[in-house]
Structure 1
Amino acid sequence: MLLITSELLVLVLAIVQASDRWIDWNYFALLSLFVQWTTLTSAALICLLRNRLARLSAPRATLAIAAIVVLDVLAFSLFADSVLHPQPGVIDWQAIIKKLLLALLITLMVLRYFYLQHQWQQQQEAEMQSHLAALQARIQPHFLFNSMNTIASLIASNPEQAEDAVLDLSELFRASLRTSDQLIPLARELDLCQRYLAIESLRLGPRLALDWSIDDGLERQAIPPLTLQPLVENAVYHGVQPRPEGGTVRIKVESRGGFVYLMVQNPKPEDHSDLHSGNRMALSNIHARLQALFGESAVLKHSHQGDVYTVTLRLPETRLQP
């Protein structure tokens, strides 16, 4: 970016310099050589000193970087002046001072750009964290109350099953409170879905049928936490629970063409507006986090086909280190 930007600046100056034609190619060639050398060497020096610069405050780091660039431009200006004007003791200080002032102004503009870009990235990070916090805080009260009632009914008849349900519920709450992880292995998210579905199976019984299809070798696939579980929760709450006969929730994960596709299917409820209002918050939060982490390579879409509602999630195939 620095090279292209500097070359565009040289092109503008060469056009302005030309008086009787569109562009002064000799001026363009000489200035390009000078600007590219100063840009590359200044960038190299700043990169070599970046660890020390990172320990400075923003104003001091700005002054240090500006000093590096100005000194670098001064050195090349003196060298270029000695080559173009080889007379000993003859130095065009006015031209050199102009170059130094121009280099200082450009450096401050570039640093301002990087500072604004850094602020924008921090804002994106904060928004992503707020989306994650909002999603993690959305453990539905109805699910909590239903789970507690189910556990209470099992304490007398099946205490071991009640204990397992308590452990599953505690794991769901532990995941909702863990906000430090931006990406987790797919295996952990699938385990969370299985714990959630185990609790719902206790309540819904045979009305809730499950169909799992998970490709092998995707255990370490990177996925944002609480991405698949809210989709499964909505599938149960909006697709299975309202139907007296129940229904099937299908969860399919496959790798294809450098991407990992996650699909959640459930029966389409009769009240379509209820489906949209229930899914809106989860889908918007998940979409925002995917865009912040993966950019345009991540896709989230939902569709109706017959009496089946499908949510499809596409992630770039990325493995987390163990």
Structure 2
Amino acid sequence: MSKKWSQYSIVATVKETPLKTDKQPKTPEFFVPDLCRVRAVFLMLVTSELLVLVLAVVQAPQGWIDWSYFGLLSLFVQWATLTSAAFICLLRPRLANTGIARATTVIVLIVVLDVLAFSLFADRVLHPSPGGVDWQTIAKKLLLAALITLMVLRYFYLQHQWQQQREAQMQAQLASLQARIRPHFLFNSMNTIASLIASDPVKAEDAVLDLSELFRANLRTDQQLVPLARELELCRRYLGIETLRLGERLQTEWHIAEGLEQQAIPPLTLQPLLENAVHHGIQSRAEGGTIRVEAYEKGPYAYLLIQNPEPDTNGPRHNGNQVGLANTRARLTAVFGEQAVLKQSRHNGIHTVTLRLPRQTARMEH
């Protein structure tokens, strides 16, 4: 048994360290959004201002809107909204560790007490009345604030449940798509290894290691994103196996820009595309050809290109296997949404598959 095989056996027994991306949440899952973010606060202010506008239109004794009432109510509502959001933001890590009922109760109490404080301040300082505090009006404000808060929290809860279901469906879809592998590659690889066992056992052993690493990656369905460096290493292993079968007919060129080693990419994204390139652009040509893999950064995106010569027009025609492209496109859409693009083009006898991924880092957790 060679030294390389012994090293591989030791490494294979070590549990793999999970990957994490910079976009993973640092706080526990909670149905209330993070109100410390500018976007969340802006949406709350816009929503509350629309509510004030509706109330000003309804309360107008004449005309379309009571501008005096609108101005005073806007000032009151914005103060209450911003201070309540600040308190909820500070208490969010603790609320996330409590039950939904308790968290809802605490949030409603925060809003009601906040509205009460501003109501008393307005009645005693800004607009004092001779008859003292109008507790009936304040009670109406507190009831309205509690009802609105409960409706908003209900919306947040339903939105959170929908998002969780969507993520679960996406994970199931990714696992299903990632589990597919073209069987003819396995058969060809095993035949190549069998033919090398007698003539060149060292190459046969290396091919077994590369093939096992490919299938280990294919069975690793718990990782949604991996670094580009790891994906390219699997691609080199795959092309190494195909080189044993095709010999000098298969030539490869690598042009990987620096700084993209940690670019996040779904696992086994490039290998099916390279398999298509080998099957349709190299194997079908008697003289073979060159596969070119390029990666570079442009703006907020990372671009990956795989180029291969088109099939010989005098040779057997292939309709092309679109399973690999459809599989990859579906996985990219599930992970990155519309930011990810996969397209193919033909120019001067060269077939090019282009992937555009948003710049995102996937790093190893130490």
Q: TM-score, normalised by structure 1?
A: 0.90
Name the stretch that deviates more: 36-45 or 66-75: 66-75
Partner of 2:320, secondary structure, is: helix
**CA contact under 8 A between 2:57 and 2:64: conserved in structure 1?**
yes
Q: 1:272 to 1:21 in 2, by over 3 A?
A: farther
Does the C-alpha gap of structure 1 residues 310 and 48 become closer, same or farther in structure 2, counting only changes over 3 Å? same
Structure 1's 287 and 208: CA in aligned 2 closer, same or farther, altered over 3 A? farther
Provide the C-alpha distance between the structure 1 equivalents of 2:309 and 2:329, rounded to a whole number of angstroms: 18
Correspondent of 2:256 among 211, 214, 223: 214
Q: 1:220: how far off?
A: 2.1
| CA deviation profile, 1:76-106 (whole Å, cap 9, x unmatched) | 2222222355357722222222212221222
Cα deviation for residue 46 of structure 1 reads: 1.0
Question: Any conservation in 2 of the 1:224–1:290 contact (CA below 8 Å)?
Answer: no
What CA distance in whole angstroms lies between the structure 2 residues aligned with 1:106 and 1:262? 49
Aligned to 2:213: 171
| Partner in structure 2 of residue 117 of structure 1 | 159
Q: Name the counterpart of 2:298.
A: 256
Matches within 5 A, 1:1-322: 1-84=43-126, 86-87=128-129, 90-269=132-311, 273-291=319-337, 296-321=338-363
Shift of 1:273: 4.1
Opposite residue 329 of structure 2, the aligned amino acid is L
What is the one-letter code of the residue matched to 1:24?
A: D
CA offsets 1:251-279 (integer angstroms, 9 cap, x no match): 11112234221011223347564333553
Shift of the alpha carbon at 1:145?
A: 1.6
CA distance in 1, matches of 2:238, 2:49: 58
- Deviation per residue, 1:167-190 (Å, 9 max, x gap): 111111121222333322211111
5+ residue gaps, structure 2: 1-42
Secondary structure of 2:128's aligned partner: coil
Change (3 A) 1:150 1:246: same
User: 1:187, 1:220 within 8 Å by CA — same for their partners in 2?
Assistant: yes
Shift of 1:132: 2.4
**What is the identity percentage for the equivalent residue pairs of Structure 1 and Structure 2?**
67
Deviation at 1:113, TM superposition (A): 2.3
| 8 Å Cα contact 1:189/1:226 also seen in 2 | yes
Q: Which runs of 5+ in 1 are unaligned?
A: none
| TM superposition score normalised by structure 2 | 0.80
Verify the 8 A CA contact 2:211 2:237 in the aligned structure 1.
yes
Q: Provide the rounded CA distance (Å) in 2 between the counterparts of 1:205 and 1:139.
A: 23
SS in 2 for 1:138: coil
**What count of residue pairs does the alignment treat as equivalent?**
318
